[in-house]
Copies of this chain bind each other. A is one copy, B any other.
Amino acid sequence: MTSQDGSGRTRTVTLRDVAQLAGVSVATASKALNGRADVRPETRRRVEEVAGRLAFTPNTLAKAMLAGQTGTVGLLTNDLVGRFSLPILMGAEDASGAGRMSVFLCDARGDAIRERYHLRALLGRRVDGIIVVGSETDPRPSLGHHVPVPVVYAYAPSDDPTDASVVPDNVRAGTLAVEHLLLTGHQRIAHISGDVTYAAAQDRARGADAALQAAGLQRVGPVRFGSWTESWGRLAAGVVLDGDPVDAILCGSDQIARGVLDTLRDRGVDVPGDVAVMGFDNWEAMVSGSRPSLTTVDMRFEAMGRRAAELLFAAIEGRPSSGIEAIEPRVVVRGSTVAGA
């Protein structure tokens, strides 16, 4: 990749260096290394040998300028700390890695100014496409249609329906949760959720109620909105236990469920014997450490990231899509709904 010159400084090895040392022109060297025809086998071997010896690494930038494609995508996230962005990012990186794509990561921290700044930087670097990751499931403002490359929104959908978005299906998740509770023999179900202003909280509750209704049942008590914390779970669980009897508590998140489990334990309520408990998110650190381990609904963030990347690549190749695509969640059964699981 580099070689020493007289001054002791290192300089990058270019195709010209390889060609010169192999005694051929740059054109021939290029053809030899790229496996094109019209090169005598013996010449090709010599060029390859020299390239290997100098550790020649072709300058992708130069190639990109010719091709008009850089083989890079931008990942514009708004919540690097959250546990949503990361799996999405992994999925995207995953799908990208397969075909020689590299990922530019930018964190706008929820600031529109910073987002615009990063957008300009990405466009200046001529990314082939952009994935925008939101921090909530509520719709977010579109980047607009003046962006010269395809854009796919993940987690938070764009407010422009002609954009392509990939989101978790929170309604379906609520339905799946209740269906699992019904299947495991629970009928008197209470619901403790998080911040009432979050679309995720509303959607999950809607899906849950729909499933109850379909079974001819009704939720026990109101949906108890609060915050996405353990302490809210502990508090609200006390309220629920003091009300009408229940045999299951559906919780808006794994964190809330942890708190609920704590209170049930304090009160000597057996889980899942007396009351079953479910969460959402399948947050490893939360579900595996609890007593008992927590049944939950996995929103499949990595699958979401992968899907977003797939849609982006398709759009880059001229097959754009639009509208909101929801990822099917899945129930992960553990000990808080099925004894011994």
On A, residues with C-beta under 8 Å from B are 1-2, 10, 12, 55, 57-62, 64-65, 68, 70, 72, 75, 80-81, 86-87, 89-90, 93, 97, 100, 102-107, 114, 120-126, 146-148, 229-231, 234, 255, 258-259, 262, 283, 285-286, 288-291
Contact = CB atoms under 8 A, between A and B. Distances in A.
A148 B100 contact: no
Number of identical monomers bound together in the oligomeric complex: 2
A53 to B, nearest CB: 12
Contacts of A289: 229-231, 255, 258-259
A105 B107 CA distance: 12
Nearest to A266: B265
B1 A148 contact: yes
A161 to B, nearest CB: 21
A125 B102 CA distance: 9
A125 to B, nearest CB: 5
Given A57-B123, A61-B65, A104 B102 contact: yes
A213 to B, nearest CB: 33
Contacts of A68: 12
A90 B147 CA distance: 26
Contacts of A2: 146, 148
27 contacts: A1-B123, A1-B147, A2-B148, A12-B126, A57-B120, A59-B65, A61-B126, A62-B65, A65-B65, A72-B125, A80-B93, A81-B86, A81-B90, A90-B107, A93-B105, A93-B107, A102-B104, A102-B106, A102-B122, A103-B105, A103-B106, A104-B105, A229-B288, A231-B289, A283-B285, A285-B285, A285-B286
Given A55-B146, A62-B65, 20 more contacts: A1-B146, A2-B148, A10-B148, A12-B68, A12-B126, A59-B124, A61-B65, A65-B65, A90-B107, A102-B104, A102-B106, A103-B105, A103-B106, A104-B104, A229-B288, A230-B288, A230-B289, A230-B290, A255-B289, A283-B285
